[in-house]
Amino acid sequence: MSKQQTIVTTETATHQSLDKHLGNTLRHIRTENGLTIADVAMRANVSRGMLSKIENGLTSPSLEKLEHLANALGVKLSRLFHDYDTPMGGAQYVKNGEGMEVVRRGTKSGHTYQLLAYDTGPKKLFEPFLITLNEESEVFDPFEHAGTEFIYMLEGKLEYTVGDERFILEPGDSLTFHAEQPHRPETKLQMPIQYLAIIYYDSLDDFEDDSY
């Protein structure tokens, strides 16, 4: 194989890898927020067929089209590229306050989620969140999702429900449970409230179905 053929082959593989990464990331963010292909396609002014091809890595979208899709999903364009081509085996260091703020189901109820590890691709076996509740935070319908969840209370006082059980969490307290059970922060007893929530998934497929 000539040098020129090698370069072309490498460039093609790189494009395919990026297309697949972008497609997987777009699909993950869309499903994470309970949106259909039709919902996002309408918001981004692209056809459903085109969006399906993008999500499956079958076409290379323009930067302008990616920007429209990012806006439709409520994320920054950089989020789509964030963990692409990250070296494997390296440690990830996140300084205090610099976790990536992400949109989850509880966001619209005033809960703030900072993802503390986010360089392992759109599918993960675990997710560590720093969750903050403020005075305006509201109670919402219980979560139910795959995996095992571990909560460690950092600040404040919170009543947390898992199934039919209620637990009072104070700094230093922890709670572990199967996340298929309905669970949620129930009552804010002492503000401000901040806790770690770490979700471990039994498989990569479990992560894709997550609705936390």
Residues in the chain: 212
Cα gap 101→185, rounded to integer Å: 19
Is the pLDDT higher at 176 or at 121? 176
Interval 35-63: pLDDT, tens:
899 999 999 999 999 999 999 989 999 99
Question: Of 184, 141, 144, nearest to 166 (Cα)?
Answer: 184
Cα gap 164→181, rounded to integer Å: 9
Question: Of 35, 67, 41, nearest to 53 (Cα)?
Answer: 41
Q: What is the CATH number of domain 3-81?
A: 1.10.260.40
Res. 79 pLDDT band, cuts 50 70 90: confident
Interval 148-189: pLDDT, tens:
999 999 999 999 999 999 999 999 999 999 999 999 999 999
Over residues 93-108, the mean pLDDT reads 77
Q: Give the pLDDT score at 38.
A: 93
What percentage of the chain's residues is helix, strand, coil (to nearest 5)? Answer: 35, 30, 40
Q: Give the pLDDT score at 118.
A: 67
Q: Give the pLDDT score at 103.
A: 74
Question: Of 111, 120, 109, 96, nearest to 21 (Cα)?
Answer: 120
Q: Give the pLDDT score at 87.
A: 56
Q: Give the pLDDT score at 198.
A: 95
Question: Of 11, 8, 13, 65, nearest to 40 (Cα)?
Answer: 65
Give the domain ranges of the chain: 3-81, 100-208
Q: Above 70 in pLDDT, residue 114?
A: yes
Over residues 193-210, the mean pLDDT reads 75
Over residues 13-32, the mean pLDDT reads 81
Q: Give the pLDDT score at 88.
A: 55
Q: What CATH class has 100-208?
A: mainly beta
User: Taking all residues of the chain, what is their mean pLDDT, rounded to a whole number?
Assistant: 82
Is the pLDDT higher at 167 or at 7? 167
Q: Give the pLDDT score at 2.
A: 47
Is the pLDDT higher at 189 or at 125? 189
Q: Give the pLDDT score at 210.
A: 42
Cα gap 6→12, rounded to integer Å: 10
Q: Above 80 in pLDDT, residue 195?
A: yes
Q: Which helix (H) or strand (E) covers residue 127, if one does? A: strand 126-133
Q: Above 60 in pLDDT, residue 207?
A: no
Instruction: Please check whether the two domains, 3-81 and 100-208, share a CATH topology.
Output: no
Q: Above 80 in pLDDT, residue 131?
A: yes
